[in-house]
Amino acid sequence: MTGYGQFCAIARAHEVLGGRWTLLIVRELLMGSRRFNDIRRGIPRISRTVLSERLQDLVHVGAVTRLEGAHGPEYDLTPAGHELFEIIAALGKWGQRWLSRLAAQEDIDLDPLIHDMARRVEMKRLPTEPMVIRFALDRQPLRFLLLKSGEVSACGENPGFPEALAVRGKLSGLAAWWRGDCDFAAAKRAGLRLEGTKAAIRAFPTWFQLYLLAGIKPAPSR
Amino acid sequence: MTGYGQFCAIARAHEVLGGRWTLLIVRELLMGSRRFNDIRRGIPRISRTVLSERLQDLVHVGAVTRLEGAHGPEYDLTPAGHELFEIIAALGKWGQRWLSRLAAQEDIDLDPLIHDMARRVEMKRLPTEPMVIRFALDRQPLRFLLLKSGEVSACGENPGFPEALAVRGKLSGLAAWWRGDCDFAAAKRAGLRLEGTKAAIRAFPTWFQLYLLAGIKPAPSR
DNA sequence: CAGGATCCGATTAGATACTG
DNA sequence: CAGTATCTAATCGGATCCTG
């Protein structure tokens, strides 16, 4: 069957937005991604085929525009698309409040996390010298985060700057800290490790604004 | 693949709530349905198998409880489930504002509409005498709405009261009026017909509070 | 009424290869 | 880089039959 057969706006909205991946793509656009492969970096498990389909669907329902930019296609939200923020925010708030946060969230990828961290670097707090942070976590692919004034980017090999810090150990610890579940000391106790100069180790947690929803804390016990 | 592999609460919430039908079931529970087949009346296209699965999933994530009532199982929302209202409301608001309302919404079922109308009868405005309204629309199954003081119910045959009114013609017109897209006169011009005494025909639109989201109007042009 | 169990067809998604 | 085309594998959903 294809539709819900309902007059109700909730059902009709869910028909066009409820598909797998769709709202995650909108989330990426809300966070500022514009290019096809930029969106993919935030959602690495989506296939190109499906991303392409979903973007076309979103254009079709009027939430997204596709424009030929100077360096290739660019996607952007329409006014209707921007209003999807309310839905995304409500989903995120509910998730932060009610989904078990300490549960063994082992099946996550590093790339979306790095992608988010790169977007939320506090430039002003960075040392003036350019540097690179190495992420060598669990079974994740090796990643490097380049931090220099006015430029932050993630890549698979050191782009040629001094390695100020290495992040090792358990990805789940890094994610728990980033999500606002625990402070950095607890993340270390959960198996995250930093290696580098004492100064860099101490400063690292201050270089970022945490995850956008980190301030939303779990609902009281149960 | 099963999960999105993301740390993000939006993605994690979507993993447990984003399945087909799931949020519609929550909508029904928010509207007051408690019994298995009561939920089905509001969502006739769901199969019993899937409804059963989805309810179990919702119990598993902690949004719903299942209790053995005197007359069989009853489902209810937990505190976490009640907070899903924010997501549902955001979805509904977006749908009312941005989804084309006049588009040929021909593929809808009468039953969910009657189900909703039955919930939103304005008792005080009803005549004192019990009565029945016949719904004979398009290719929809014949339905009867029994209105008597303190009791409203929909059924497939006249339960034995005078038929004050018959509603005929196009279901899409009735739905458009109910959703708040047009007034009743416009619904008639779109192919809806009422048959009965002049007084009943005039009074009919006043017997109901319209659809919960009827007050949310479309976003300005485009 | 409220499901569980099974089977089978429809849909969807991922992998792969190819294009401008 | 940004896709499209095609094939196949996995998943999902509906119909049917059965139970307490």
**Mean pLDDT calculated for residue range A97-106:** 78
Q: What is the pLDDT of residue B1?
A: 63
Report which residue is nearest nucleotide C11 when distances run from CA to C1'.
A1
pLDDT band per the 50, 70, 90 thresholds, residue A185: very high
The dotted CATH code for A103-207 is: 3.30.1050.10
Return the bridge partners of A150, or none: none
A9-98 classified as CATH 3.40.190.10? no
Three-state SS letters, A23-73: HHHHHHHHCCCCCHHHHHHHCCCCCHHHHHHHHHHHHHHCCEEEEEECCEE
CA torsion B178-B182-B183-B187 (nearest 10°) is: -80
Determine the Cα–Cα distance for residues B64 and A199; give it in Å rounded to an integer: 49
Asked if A5 and B79 come within 8 Å (Cβ–Cβ), the reply is no
Q: What is the pLDDT of residue A178?
A: 97
Å between CA of A50 and C1' of D6: 14
Å between CA of A48 and C1' of C17: 14
Interface probe for A, chosen from B1, B2, B4, B109 (most Cβ of A below 10 Å), is B4
Nucleotides of C under 7 A from a protein CB: 1-6, 11-17
Structure tokens at A42: 């935030």
Residue A221 has pLDDT above 90, yes or no: no
Asked if B92 and A43 come within 8 Å (Cβ–Cβ), the reply is no
Determine the Cα–Cα distance for residues B32 and B127; give it in Å rounded to an integer: 26
Q: How far is A1 from chain B (nearest CA, A)?
A: 9
Task: Decide: B218 and B97 in contact? Cβ < 8 Å.
Answer: yes
Tell me the H-state helices in chain B.
9-17, 22-30, 36-42, 48-61, 79-82, 85-98, 110-119, 171-179, 184-189, 198-203
Q: What is the pLDDT of residue B104?
A: 55
Determine the Cα–Cα distance for residues B128 and B213; give it in Å rounded to an integer: 29
| Domain span(s) for CATH 3.30.1050.10 in chain A | 103-207
Report which residue is nearest nucleotide C4 when distances run from CA to C1'.
B49
pLDDT band per the 50, 70, 90 thresholds, residue A222: low
Å between CA of B31 and C1' of C3: 23
Q: What is the pLDDT of residue A164?
A: 94
Q: How far is CA B138 from CA A3, A146, B106, B143, B167, in A?
A: 19, 64, 10, 12, 10
For residue A46, say whether its CB is under 7 Å from any atom of strand C. Answer: yes
Residue A183 has pLDDT above 90, yes or no: yes
Starting at the edge strand found earlier in the chain, the sheet holding B131-137 runs B151-155, B143-148, B131-137, B163-169, B192-196
Determine the Cα–Cα distance for residues B135 and B168; give it in Å rounded to an integer: 6
Nucleotides of D under 7 A from a protein CB: 1-6, 11-16
Residues A13-29: pLDDT tens digits?
A: 999 999 999 999 999 99
CB atoms within 10 A of CB A220: 7
Q: What is the mean pLDDT of each run of 10 residues along chain B (222 residues)?
A: 88 93 96 92 91 92 90 93 98 95 78 94 93 94 91 89 95 95 95 96 97 94 63
Determine the Cα–Cα distance for residues B75 and B62; give it in Å rounded to an integer: 12
pTM, entire model: 0.94
Determine the Cα–Cα distance for residues A162 and B208; give it in Å rounded to an integer: 71
- Average pLDDT along chain A: 93
Å between CA of B180 and C1' of C14: 43
Question: In the complex, which nucleotide's C1' lies nearest to the CA atom of residue B55?
Answer: C3
Question: In the complex, which nucleotide's C1' lies nearest to the CA atom of residue A51?
Answer: D3
